Amino acid sequence: MSILRLGLSAALAAFTLSAGEPVIVEQIIAKVNGDIITRSDLARARQELEASMRQRGLPPARIAEALAQSEKDLLRDKIDNLLLIQRGKELNINVDNEVSKYLGQIQAENKIADPEKFQQWIRENTGMTYEDFRAELRNNFLAQRVLAQEVYSKVNIPRRQIEEYYEKNKQSFVRKERVILREILVSTQGMDETGVAAAEKKARDIVARARKGERFTDLVREFSESITARQGGLLDPFEKGVLDPKLEQIVWDKEKGYVTDPVRVPAGWLILRVEDHQKEGLAELSEVESEIREKLASEIMMPKVREYLSELRRNSFIEIRQPWVDTGAVPGQRTDWNDPALLRAETVTKEEVAAQARMKRLLYFLPIPGTSITDTSKSSSK
């Protein structure tokens, strides 16, 4: 079926949903310095948010709760992003090299040498054309570069401040015994028995390479098909009783650097590396320094980011259609929606133009209210 026929079918389906009530398929929700945010933009943002929560393995009830909390800020986040992209263009920031490098990494990780096949892979896995996906990446990199240049670079956390925080909050760093892991997942989704066996052999080869001394993070980037691959396979710390019992039995008493044999899990073959095994008690400053630095930086940076975005808003023309609300709006700044369809045209015919011109000439000779022609002449004679 052609794209045109698909479009006609969708239009007819929308029309027949209700004979009496028109169905709004698309609508402009906000205008930001000439750029627009549509209803479908917000719907797509919600879908992406929900998908990321599902990938993290959150239960349905938790996903519903998190979505309810986050939905109110979807428009704010879209406006934030647009303002950062626009600012990046004003600053002439170029991120083409970063985008090309990132796409090259994805292509290498998935072992797709043919450019056309890679573009097809992008379409199948993102639902976007290669050009749209590249543009989306470019905008994301651009927004991050603006924040890094305009906000993050101006935030410094001195070592003394980290030490003071540690001393004042030692009780926060008294921990139960826990293990920190990295993972590599060799997927078996949609495979028959032969494919599963081949995936197991691949996983065993990876384990052998890791045990011979290859950097585990390099192997993660090369082979892992888990969402954690982007962060080097690093997982959140696990306390006793939190990890799957079968996996906990394998890794709990192992030392730092231990690499497991491949373990069969529903998604495929899982390989784990013990990154650290922290004993119960007060953590050393060296163990939590980066954690404290990130916490202090986030406490400082988040207000500064919002302050910066508020300044961008103050210098922008923003219109928002009711009943949508920008939760990041600057107090006192008007963002009333001006619908061109509701504006009365000043003139519609040549006759009206001529009549308006005659009225202007007539008004030119009329006295200003509160004065008279006679009064004016008297004052002149004086």
The answer, yes or no, to whether residue 311 has pLDDT greater than 70, is yes
pLDDT at 360: 41
Residue 202's pLDDT band (boundaries 50, 70, 90)? very high
**Domain spans in the chain, listed from the N-terminal domain onward:** 177-279
Which pLDDT score, from 0 to 100, does residue 104 have? Answer: 84
What's the predicted TM-score (pTM) here? 0.59
Looking at residue 22, what is its pLDDT? 62
Question: Which range, of 47-56, 221-230, 243-252, 369-378, averages the lowest pLDDT?
Answer: 369-378
DSSP strands (E only) in 70-112 = none
The better pLDDT of the pair 358, 162 is held by 162
Least confident of 21-35, 81-95, 149-163, 270-284: 21-35
pLDDT tier at 374, thresholds 50, 70, 90: very low
- The DSSP bridge partners found for residue 180 are 276
Q: Is the pLDDT confidence value at 327 over 90?
A: yes
Query: Looking at residue 21, what is its pLDDT?
Result: 58
Nearest to 224 by CA among 187, 275, 195, 261: 187
Q: Which of 256-260, 286-290, 336-340, 366-370 has the highest mean pLDDT?
A: 256-260
CATH class of 177-279: alpha beta
Quick one: how far is CA 311 from the chain centroid? Answer: 21
Side-chain half-sphere of 139: how many Cα atoms within 13 Å? 15
In angstroms, what CA-CA distances link 343 with 337, 338, 339, 340, 347?
12, 8, 7, 5, 12
Check residues 26 and 204 and name the one with the higher pLDDT.
Answer: 204
pLDDT digits (tens, 9 = 90+) for 79-132: 999 999 999 999 999 999 889 888 887 887 777 889 999 999 999 988 889 999
238: helix, strand or coil: strand
Ranking 57-61, 159-163, 302-306 by mean pLDDT, the lowest is 57-61
Higher pLDDT, 374 or 189: 189
- Categorize the per-residue pLDDT at 275 as very low, low, confident or very high, splitting at 50, 70 and 90: very high
